[in-house]
């Protein structure tokens, strides 16, 4: 997965701190900054990021949301596959144990 610059969706904004120099001293001020919306949970957030995988692009406010949206599901148990998994023509599995349950007896876990 490759993270890219945040994309901005919608017109919501928030007040963010900014620095301004006055009379040789730095002062905090507020600026309006656009908020992006997480594609998984719908949260409007100023620190979102985008992830691109196999032609799909999503905007997220957390890695948890990115995983829920982007990670493939095991063909047997349905859990999200965060590592390499094992693949066959039947699909991708989280482990060789799940692959065997679906009749794939030749697949082994990568160690």
Closest CA to 69 of 37, 60, 77, 78: 60
- pLDDT for 53-65, tens place per residue? 889 899 999 999 9
If one compares 105 and 39, the residue with the highest pLDDT of the two is 39
**Is the pLDDT assigned to residue 104 strictly greater than 70?**
yes
pLDDT-based confidence at residue 6 (cuts at 50, 70, 90): very low
* The pLDDT of residue 64: 94
DSSP conformation letters of 76-107: TT--B--S--EEETTEEESSHHHHHHTT--S-
- Residue 80 to residues 62, 64, 75, 110: CA-CA distances in angstroms? 16, 11, 10, 17
* The pLDDT of residue 58: 94
Using DSSP's 3-state secondary structure scheme, residue 62 falls into coil
Those residues with Cβ within 8 angstroms of residue 65's Cβ, 6 or more apart along the chain or in another chain: 38, 39, 40, 41
**Is the pLDDT assigned to residue 28 strictly greater than 60?**
no
* The pLDDT of residue 111: 59
* Size of the chain, expressed as the number of residues it contains: 111
CB 41 within 8 A of CB 67: no
pLDDT-based confidence at residue 32 (cuts at 50, 70, 90): low
* The pLDDT of residue 60: 95
């Amino acid at each position: 997965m490759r993270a890219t610059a945040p994309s901005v969706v919608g017109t919501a904004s928030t007040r963010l701190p900014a620095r301004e120099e006055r009379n040789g001293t730095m002062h905090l001020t507020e600026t309006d900054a656009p908020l992006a919306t997480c594609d998984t949970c719908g949260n409007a957030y100023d620190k979102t990021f985008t992830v691109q995988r196999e032609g799909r692009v999503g905007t997220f406010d957390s890695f948890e949301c990115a995983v829920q949206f982007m990670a493939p599901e095991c063909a047997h148990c349905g859990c999200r596959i965060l590592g390499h998994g094992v693949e066959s023509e039947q699909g991708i599995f989280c482990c060789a144990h799940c692959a065997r349950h679906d009749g794939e007896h030749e697949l082994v876990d990568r160690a």
